[in-house]
Structures are given as C-alpha cells and as structure tokens.
Structure 1
Amino acid sequence: MFGEMAWSFVIQTLSGIVAVFVGIWLALIVERRRKEEDTSEREAAQMAEYERVIDSILGSVVKNTAEAKRILRLLGGAHCPRLLHADLETAVWYASHGHFTALCHNVDQRVILSQFFDDVRRLSAFIEFRTELLAQRTTVGRRADDAEVEALAAEVDKRLAAMAEDLRFTGVMVITDHGKPVHKRLMGIPTEVA
C-alpha cells in the first residue's frame, strides 16, 4: 500500500511537472506568434504610412519639376517678364521629411529627395534675388538699356535657366527611379507595361 501511494505520488508529481513545462512551452509559442503578428501589423502600418508620405513628396516633386520647366520656357521666350513669379513649393517636404526619413530604409532615396528640395529652395531664393535686382534696376534710375546692367541681367537669367534645368532634370530622374506610374504619367514619362 505504501509502495502504491509512493508510486502514485511520483506519477502525479511527474505529470504535474510535465504539464507545467508543456504549458510554459505552449505559452512561449503563443507569445512568439503574437509578437510576430504584432510586428507584421506594425510593419504593414508603417509601410502604409510610408506610401502616403512618399506619394505626397513625389507629388511635390512633379509639381516643382513642372514649375522649373515653366520657368525655362519663360526665360527662353522673347518676352520674359521682369518680375518672374515662381510657384515652387517646399512645404510638403518640410512638413513630412522627418517622418519620411524615419520610415524610409533606402538611404539613396532619402539623399536624392533631400538634395532635390534643397535645389528647389535655392532656385526659389535665386528667383527672389533676380526680382530684387530687376526692381532695383528700375528704381535706381539707370536706364533700362544700360549695357552693364543688361549684361548683368543676362548673366543672372543664364544662371537662373541653368538652375531651373538642373531642377527639371533631377525631378525627371527622381520620378523615373522612384515614382509610381501615376507620377510618371503626370510627367509624360512612359511607364513599362508588364
């Protein structure tokens, strides 16, 4: 009788220990799967947020590229306005670049977009410089046909055209390399048909 009770105690103790280990093992498996699901959901949410941010940024690239092209047309035309208005925008970039940088894992893409918007800012500043220069030219009292002033204005326009062409070219490259079909269509870039 004592042997049966001892044997029963050993069996119950071992089965309890096995049950605890099996329970812990199952709990660890369930926890690992839950963490994997949470990670997958978090990565999916981050990817969706990245897609929203990059769409806004690339839309701004398309707009700024089109504006650079318009500036080039005006500068190349026979009657370029003295006061040149440019509708360049950097607000989307400045509002979202921190978020974009945190979400984007492609360093090259972060660098090229940062450089593009830095070029937009520089082009905008140079257009303001041109406007101030031509406004001073009018208010200082020099004659509009003064050869020195005309040469300076021509050099400024040449530099402005080079900056606008660089921005246009960079914008086309950004959209070609990183744009979605909708961005490519907006810029007239052929999309590949699969």
Structure 2
Amino acid sequence: MTLTPELALRHQRAADFFVRRGAAGWTGADERELDAWLADASNRAIYDGLAVTALDLQQVRRPRLASDAAPAAGRRPAAPAAAQGRPAQVTARRWRKAWAPALLSALLLVGGGWYWWDHHPSYTLDVATGPGEMRAVALPDGTRVTLNFDSRLKVRYYPRRRNAELAGGEAFFQVAP
C-alpha cells in the first residue's frame, strides 16, 4: 500500500479522533461526527488498526531512562509488580518463559544421559572360531564359554543386564559357583 497525501490525512484524522475520544470534554456531537466518519469502511479499518496498535503499545513496559529521577536516599524502591495491582499471572508467565526451557533442557539431558548409560555396554566381546577350531573364553563374571567349531558369539554387559548372542554354531556356558 502506497502512502498518498489523502491516506496520510485519513490516518491523521483517525489519530485526532482517537486522542480526543480518550480525553475529557468528548461530547455526543463528537461521537456522532466520529460515527459518520467511520461509516466509510476504509476509515473504519484505519481507526481499528490504530486502536489495536494502541492496545499493543500499552503492553510494552517503559524502560527506565537516565532523565528519570533517581530514588531519594533512604527511600525504598517501588513495590514489586504483584503489589502494584498487576495480576500474579504476569509473574508466573514470566517465570514459565524463563525457567520452562531450562527445566525441559535439564530433563532431556538427564533422561538422555540415563538412556545412554543404560544402553551403552560396559564390556563387549566378539569371538569366533574357524572350521575345526574350539575355544574357551572366560567372562568377567566368572562364566566360562566353550565355543565349538565355526561359531560366532557376541557378549555385551550393560549396567542392568547381560546379553549373549550366538550368531552361529554351538556354545557351552559354565556358570561359576
């Protein structure tokens, strides 16, 4: 949309109406004049857009400026937002915005660490025998495994379980007493 002089004047008129309507001294005649001006759909769209912008700007907190007077010595600082009549939801919402991502990240980190710890073997053994070869292997828990010829065995010790996979051939397990 191109800003023409005529459109700029419409925006100026909408701003004038908006400011005057919020000030003291607004009369019924002023209201009728505004209603007549708003009868045009484009004027209504401009005025409504201005009202939405004003509502959005009311939500923005004003930053402290250098020209603001510093609190006098011995004076307590202003009360927190909740004590000034602002709803408690504002501070709760701010807390959630600040801490929720951090808590979620911490939970994911702890959960991921536990998952890795539980699914990462602390001991691995891959052993195979060829044709006509037999082999005896001792495992860390004292179990002895004897593999027959042409056998393949994979052993994995996890923190909470032991996994032995015989991929082919024969194996004899002797559990230590």
Q: TM-score, normalised by structure 2?
A: 0.31
Q: TM-score, normalised by structure 1?
A: 0.29
Higher RCO structure, 1 or 2 (CA under 8 Å, sep 6+): 1
* More helix as a share of residues: 1
Larger radius of gyration: 2
